[in-house]
Amino acid sequence: MQMRVLGGTGIKVSPYCFGAMNFGTWANTDGEEAGRIINAALDGGINFIDTADIYSSGESERIVGRAIKGRREDVVLATKFHNQMGDDVNRRGNSRRWIVRAVEDSLRRLDTDHIDIYQAHRPDPDTDIEETLSALTDLVRAGKIRAFGSSTFPAELIVEAQWTSERRGLERLRTEQPPYSILNRTIEAAVLPTTQRYGVGVLVWSPLAMGWLSGKYRNGVDMSTGRAKMAAQVFDPALPENARKMAAVEELAKIAADAGVSLTHLSMAFSIAHPGVTSAIIGPRTREQLDDLLAGADLVLDEETLDRIDEVVAPGTAISAGDTFYTPREISEKSLRRRPVATRSAA
């Protein structure tokens, strides 16, 4: 694979990043098989692995750590913190108190002495961004992490973080990990221009749109049996937004057929075609899925094909608003968008 520089870090990574979310109790529970799949990905040219503490309550990190033992120096290793990891209310978030504990837990599970890219899994409105950046800067200076980044941060928070680092003499966010696919192109409007402006590397997740672009779920597919039955809740065509997605998938399948490629390969090639995207996270559960993804790794889409995709889903838009995966509490909480109503006491 043709390596790309991750932001301004100088670290060179593959255009596909191996995502380990599907290893552990959440999906593939066979740790030995998972290890073989990870090593097959490394043998296939991928040098970038992404996981998180929350994935299967830490089991994903343990699986990755075992799999890369003896190959650690050849791997750019990324993990994430933020989500609840236990009953204590303070075992979560982006506070210094939690970060310094969470990184030690991840280092132990990964069986390594350093993490290459340590990421805040989501924004934390309860924590001042300077608090987070200061704690992460200390981890860089202590050698526990090499660089740090964010995941699913809106453009305005990326800018705030950059300004805070400059004014306080702190290390900068070097990466951002947003959702991005043909069906969800919202980051093209603000996030990608912002990351490009500040030289932030971008590794996108869900390039196959949670399975919509895998080619498995199409019009006429029986959703009443097997894995399709479990997926029916997500792919239920009776929901208006799902009906729109299904129609878009059918159009994209025609474009893929005309280009002589599979829908999966078309979708993955699209996800790394934007000049602001460094790497796209793949999450195969099986060796067969990995082999299929690797087979399309060198595909480059021509202008005509990209123009046809634009006609199906316009740049900067999404089929479903819910696919952004982050809603600021200024929108979700009524009390923050409504003036308090004065109550009149009884006479």
Q: What is the pLDDT along the chain (347 residues), one digit of tens a residue?
A: 899 999 999 999 999 999 999 999 888 888 899 999 999 999 999 999 999 999 999 999 999 999 999 999 999 999 999 999 999 999 999 999 999 999 999 999 999 999 999 999 999 999 999 999 999 999 999 999 999 999 999 999 999 999 999 999 999 999 999 999 999 999 999 999 999 999 999 999 999 999 999 988 777 666 655 555 656 667 777 888 889 999 999 999 999 999 999 999 999 999 999 999 999 999 999 999 999 999 999 999 999 999 999 999 999 999 987 777 777 788 888 888 888 876 666 55
Q: What gap in Å lies between CA 94 and CA 128, rounded to an integer?
A: 9
At residue 325, the pLDDT reads: 74
Catalytic residue among 16, 55, 180, 198: 55
Q: Say whether 344 sits in a helix, a strand or coil.
A: coil
Helices then strands, counting H and E runs in the chain, come out as 12, 10
In sign, the C-alpha dihedral spanning 22, 153, 325, 183 is negative
Question: Do 55 and 73 touch, CB atoms closer than 8 A?
Answer: no
End-to-end CA distance of the chain: 78
Distances (CA, A) of 179 to 151, 199, 304: 9, 19, 25
Question: Do 243 and 303 touch, CB atoms closer than 8 A?
Answer: no
pTM: 0.92
326 is catalytic: no
Q: Say whether 20 sits in a helix, a strand or coil.
A: coil
Burial bucket for residue 120 (CB in 10 Å: 0-12, 13-18, 19+): buried
Amino acid at 48: F
At residue 161, the pLDDT reads: 98
Q: Which residue has the tokens 């402006």?
A: 197
At residue 347, the pLDDT reads: 55
At residue 29, the pLDDT reads: 83
At residue 267, the pLDDT reads: 98
CA angle 139, 142, 143 (to 5 degrees): 90
Tokens of 250: 């059918």
At residue 225, the pLDDT reads: 57
Q: Domains for the chain: give ranges and CATH numbers.
A: 4-215+264-336 (3.20.20.100)
Distances (CA, A) of 262 to 215, 251, 255, 256: 8, 13, 9, 6
At residue 338, the pLDDT reads: 84
In sign, the C-alpha dihedral spanning 99, 117, 279, 72 is negative
